[in-house]
Amino acid sequence: MAEPARSAPKETAKDTAPARPDVTSLSFEAALAELEAIVQRLERGDVPLEESIAIYERGEALKARCETLLKDAEARVEMITRDADGRPTGTAPLDPAG
């Protein structure tokens, strides 16, 4: 007696999507570009529910990455200090309290 035919497992968006780099390895520009693409896809409203949830979660991680990189950049920004004649004398933190 022949075995009944089994259907192949369904492919999900996760199975067919290209591997995306880990969020922590992305530059600010790359993370922002991917985040903008996710927002556009979600705003169109033509993404299946499961995929919407997955890309929303990725978007949250990308947003956090951008915020972290911006905070780090702000901490490195320095203000040029000048003497009474306006000549540069050195640098100081932009935010003296930070």
Query: What's the CATH number where 52 sits?
Result: 1.10.287
Question: Considering the domain boundaries, does residue 4 fall inside one?
Answer: no
Question: Considering the domain boundaries, does residue 17 fall inside one?
Answer: no
| pLDDT tens digits along 29-47 | 999 999 999 999 999 999 9
Question: Considering the domain boundaries, does residue 5 fall inside one?
Answer: no
pTM of the entire predicted model: 0.63
Helices (H), 1-98: 13-16, 28-44, 49-76
| pLDDT tens digits along 55-91 | 999 999 999 999 999 988 887 777 777 788 888 787 7
pLDDT at 9: 47
pLDDT at 26: 97
Q: Give me the domain span that covers residue 55.
A: 22-93
Number of structural domains in the chain = 1
Question: Considering the domain boundaries, does residue 6 fall inside one?
Answer: no
Question: Considering the domain boundaries, does residue 8 fall inside one?
Answer: no
Report the phi/psi class of residue 90: left, alpha or beta, with left for phi > 0 and alpha for psi in -120 to 50. Answer: left
| pLDDT tens digits along 2-34 | 555 555 444 444 444 557 889 999 999 999 999
